[in-house]
Amino acid sequence: MMRLPARPTRSAEGFVLLLGLGVALALFADLAMYVVLPTHTLDAGILLVDVGLMLSANRLIRIFLNGPYGVLIERLPRRPVLLLSQGIGITAALMYVFTGFWPTLIGRLLWGIAWSGFWLGGNTAVLDLATGANRGKLVGRYHMWTFAGYSGGALFGGLLTDLIGYQATFAVFAGVGLTALILWFLLLPETRPDHTVSKAAYSALPKREAVIPRGLRVPIAIITLIMGFNWLIFLGIIGATLALLLQERVGDSLALGLLILPLTTLTGGVAAVKDLLSLLAAPISGLLSDRVGSRWSIIILALGMGVLALLTVALGGGVFVVIGLLLGAIITSVLQTQATALIGDYAGANRQGRLLGILGTAGDIGAAAGPLLAFFLIEQGWTLQNIFIAAAVLIGLMLPGAIWVHWRYGRLVSVTQPIAST
């Protein structure tokens, strides 16, 4: 296969910095949509009833894309995939400048395609450069930048829309994406190693064992379930019900000493602090798992804290509900980072794309289903307390499986010596 000339790879940390910064800038337009679209339907040229479809279309298309894309990413250089994804993301942002149902929907679908490239191509590129001793740290740093993009998009999306208007904001974000594309074109190196031997070995594998090695099916299944429930609860359900939850438990305002926070300000503040904590937790937890020598130990601790956080949200009031929500933001970041690093531990170079595709599909199904499930249960008469108690039970059900995998399989995989040769 003809390969584009690769820039010499600098340090792995420098590569992750450049890659993560570009992804964060690309995320600005997407996160701005979540903030401004529900209140700017006239500017977008859509009906209020269309908002739910627009905000979920990008995830729905990824459910069908992640699997095939994961197979493809193993056969392709990473650099052109990432450049193409950045270009598609810019096109998506430009589609939001046009008004109407179809331009907006096409933009959301294009963004779903772009994010599949960022998730699979970006994570695979990071795993290309990682070793067992630094995999958690590098994955955590990459995911840190995605959370930075979430925060920046929400903050600047709302601010710019108020200052210059809806269409102009997305034109600016398209320009921001173009800046990232130029930086990547000039500086982003290729990371895919020569896999001549690995391809031959891959061809010799029985097809049914090509994706998941027989001895690792259980731990990979458990981590995939954890990823799905993680995004279902901490991204989908909490993201959809945050304003309702704070209104029910806090009321019109929250008093913190002499400071009175109105509900809208509190909701925005909680969302911003959640993203900040997730941003900080990703690299710290990744580095910690490298140092401790066991990612499953970190996952077990995070699951236990997740149960505590959800019960605090379910049963607490006032400032305690806020504490539970903020703790949940740390948990989701830790679980996402450890799950991705474990895929790198288990996969080897020949399976990274497909296993990341499976992991991403599980997460996208959960994130897309979360809002639908939450509001369906509310319509059926469930209280928010009942919903979050049920969520705590779901996370708790993951603990026995994680503990068993740690006991049964933990000794088979050391973070300093991956079991699958890369």
Instruction: In whole angstroms, give the CA distance from residue 237 to residue 367.
Output: 8
For CA atoms 184, 68, 236, 100, give the dihedral sign. positive
Provide the whole-model pTM: 0.80
> Are 32 and 136 contained in the same domain?
yes
DSSP 210-272: SSS-GGGHHHHHHHHHHHHHHIIIIIIIHHHHHHHHHHHHT-SEEEETTEEEEHHHHHHHHHH
Instruction: In whole angstroms, give the CA distance from residue 107 to residue 88.
Output: 9
- Asked if 391 and 268 count as a contact pair (C-beta separation under 8 A), the reply is no
- The CA–CA distances, whole Å, from 127 to 6, 354, 369, 384 equal 17, 13, 29, 39
> Are 59 and 189 contained in the same domain?
yes
Is residue 271 pLDDT above 60, yes or no? yes
Q: Is residue 150 part of a domain?
A: yes
- The CA–CA distances, whole Å, from 422 to 207, 210, 351, 418 equal 19, 15, 10, 8
Give the 3-state secondary structure of residue 414: strand
> Are 35 and 166 contained in the same domain?
yes
For 187-200, write each residue's pLDDT tens digit: 999 988 764 444 44
Per the structure, the complete domain to which residue 176 belongs is given by: 10-193
> Are 312 and 353 contained in the same domain?
yes
Q: Is residue 203 part of a domain?
A: no
Give the 3-state secondary structure of residue 417: strand
Nearest to 3 by CA among 199, 200, 182, 193: 193
For 294-350, write each residue's pLDDT tens digit: 899 999 999 999 999 999 999 988 789 989 999 999 999 999 999 999 988 887 656
Is residue 207 pLDDT above 60, yes or no? no
> Are 234 and 132 contained in the same domain?
no
